Amino acid sequence: MTAPFLEPYTFKNGVTLKNRIMLAPMTNFASSDNGEVTEEELAYYRVRSGGVGTVITACANVTADGKGFHGEIGVDRDELVGSLSSLAKAIQNEGAKAILQIFHGGRMAPPELLPDNQTVSASAVAPLRDGAATPRELENEEIEHIIKAFGDATRRAIEAGFDGVEIHGANTYLLQQFFSPHSNRREDKWGGSLEKRMTFPLAVVDEVRKTAKDKGDSSFIVGYRISPEEMENPGITMEDTLAFVDRLVKEEIDYLHVSVQDFYAGSMRNKEDKASRVQLIQDRVGEQIPVIGVGSLHTPEDVEKAMSGGVPLVSLGRELIMEPKWVEKAANGKADQIRTDISVNDREELTVPAQLWQAIINTPGWFPVREHAKK
């Protein structure tokens, strides 16, 4: 019997994925300083694109002042279309659909990466972390410019041959900053009530959908990634998010991707609330839109259990870094050979970019890392 995650999946727009497993968007710090994709990065994606149905790339910044990481993919200039095309082809040639994640870092961007060293956000409120810079509040004209930049990024993704884009509305970046009552203290049309805090992310969705319709065809996929809650007070609550996903499903996007570290984790705001955030979103809107589950799923059994609650698609991040051939091994009866940890000496064998490898090895608790290779 075929495992459920190996079965094809067809979106409402008619596009069929060969299976239900996706490579989650994982920052790899491997692009050139000018945003061009490198050979090291292409190799990393190639080796992970043979088994999965879909690859969602690391985030790509839509404006120069939205760059969130060293070594980030750029989609902010037309001259990068050739570079982006090489990335789309590297993924598609191995048999997977290629989706470009597009984003703006907002107040989370490292100031040294920005043209004027000044972060921007919905309001001039610093993130709650040591030494964080206070952003400058965006003016109305700048907000409109960023919305258009998401549309331009979508056009470039289409010109580069990608199968879709994922709008990054999660992980405390700009779209989430506008939705959050912590980072958005505005009292104009872009903030104030819960409804008004939805205005900017919904305007971005509208611009991306419009561009996809005008410049692409009906097969172009548009997804949205969301973080269910925030730690901050005031901050995004699960009630806020359920109201937002109710609204998002009316926008004719193709999927909703929930961003959590652990599929089964309960509330980060209320320790008594143990319900899986992914499952809550699936139960709320899963009949209307495909929900992608993610978070600390390592074995085929883990993935099947996660899907048993109705989630039709699962993205694997850390697991596909540790085991690039996860799908192939699961499909060929070799599940017992799937790696669920790594040693400090495995980088070349796993085709992981040097900077990402350093982050993995030097961030305690992020990956299960052994000191020595298995004998």
Ordered by where they begin, the domains of the chain are 4-340 (3.20.20.70)
Distance from C-alpha of 223 to C-alpha of 209, rounded to nearest angstrom: 10
Q: Could you give the CA distance from residue 296 to residue 315 in angstroms, rounded to a whole number?
A: 10
Q: Is 187 exposed, middle or buried (0-12, 13-18, 19+ CB in 10 A)?
A: exposed
Write down the pLDDT at residue 1: 75
224 catalytic, yes or no? no
For each successive 10 residues of the chain (375 residues), what is the average pLDDT? 94 97 97 97 98 98 97 98 98 98 97 96 94 95 98 98 98 98 98 97 98 96 98 96 98 97 96 97 98 96 97 98 97 95 95 96 92 63
- Identify the pLDDT of residue 63: 98
Prediction pTM value: 0.97
Q: How far is CA 334 from CA 300, 304, 329, in A?
A: 10, 16, 5
Closest to 135 measured CA to CA, from 165, 100, 110: 110
The residue behind tokens 């692009």 is 31
Cβ atoms of 200 and 206 within 8 Å: the answer is: no
CA 232 – CA 371 distance, rounded (Å): 36
Q: How many other C-beta atoms are found inside a 10 Å radius of the C-beta of residue 129?
A: 8
Determine how β-strand 21-23 pairs with β-strand 54-61.
parallel
pLDDT tens-digit series, residues 275-323: 999 999 999 999 999 999 999 999 999 999 999 999 999 999 999 999 9
Cα(364)–Cα(27) distance, rounded to whole angstroms? 17
Q: What is the reported pLDDT for 373?
A: 60
Report the pLDDT value the prediction gives residue 112, as an integer from 0 to 100: 96
Which residues, 6+ apart, have CB-to-CB distance to 370 below 8 Å? 341, 342, 343, 344
Which pLDDT value is given to residue 370? 86
Active-site residue, selected from the candidate residues 173, 224, 255, 264:
173
Cα–Cα nearest to 207, from 139, 153, 137: 153
The pLDDT assigned to 374 comes to: 61
Q: How far is CA 177 from CA 39, 206, 233, 322, in A?
A: 33, 18, 13, 32
Q: What are phi and psi of 168, to 5 degrees?
A: -90, 95
